[in-house]
Amino acid sequence: MPAKRAALLLASAALLATMALACGGGSDPVYRSFRLEATSEVLHRGHDEVFVTVISWWYEPPGRWRWELASDRGTFFIGVSDGERWWFYDAEERTYTVEPVPPDVDQPFLPVSLQIGPALEGDVDAFIDALTARVDGWARRAGEEQLLGRDVTIIEYGPIERSSDSDGRERAWGEGRIAIDPETLFILRHEISGEPGTNAVVTVTRLEIGVDLPDERFEFEPPDGARQVEE
């Protein structure tokens, strides 16, 4: 399914990995309500075509959010939470699931394999330390740029992939590059490259923080013909 490959959707178990409800000094979430739009461009190993996905993401604390992933054929995946229930809708299968929000959870990770949007760490240095641990490799500052009118810090890291040969010798390759706003701690661009493997970049094209969002944004109405299935 090209649309799903374009979005780099994760396996179900990873999709349901969750962000803990981040709090600072009380019950207020670290990040405020936001609206984010981004474009994902992915070139898979062995393919000539670049798969493009448009990502729309709305969030209002605590625990209300909506994702929409779209290709040139239209929206193909929707996730919604009203703070009490999660819905996940697959437009290609015309099916959806619904489940109660797990305790002490804000939202699942956005279902793309490159992290964008709010980082959960308290500052850029803490983010670099956490990134180094996650990739079991290295991460470093690599300059400054401007994106969306914001001064961003560039972070390079690696490796992206690891494998072992028949003799058990490990090979690691590939690098990633992240642009993070040190003021808001939002990741505004994330790219990976390296052969052999997948080359991808996700770029935030619109970001509004502290916006008022209508209640209807966090409601799910099954499309005509959609059927509910068990997870």
**Per-residue model confidence (pLDDT) at position 158:** 95
Better pLDDT: 149 or 161: 149
For residue 109 the two structure tokens come to 């990770």
Q: How many residues in total does the chain contain? A: 231
Strand, helix or coil for residue 6? helix
Q: What is the pLDDT of residues 104-141, one digit of tens each?
A: 777 777 778 789 999 989 899 999 999 999 999 999 99
Q: Phi/psi zone of residue 5: left (φ > 0), alpha (ψ -120 to 50 degrees), beta? A: alpha
- Residue 31's pLDDT band (cuts 50, 70, 90): low
Strand, helix or coil for residue 132? helix
Beta bridge partners of 66: 58, 80
Better pLDDT: 87 or 4: 87
For residue 33 the two structure tokens come to 């309500």
**d(Cα 230, Cα 88) in Å, to the nearest integer?**
11
Q: What rounded mean pLDDT belongs to the chain?
A: 85
Strand, helix or coil for residue 198? coil
Of all residues in the chain, the percent with pLDDT exceeding 90 is 62
Q: Is the pLDDT of residue 209 over 50?
A: yes
DSSP state letter for 218? G
**Number of C-beta neighbours around residue 103 at 10 A:** 6
For residue 191 the two structure tokens come to 């790219």
**Per-residue model confidence (pLDDT) at position 9:** 41
Residue with tokens 């040139």: 72
Within its chain, how far is the Cα of 89 from the centroid?
A: 17
For residue 205 the two structure tokens come to 């094209």
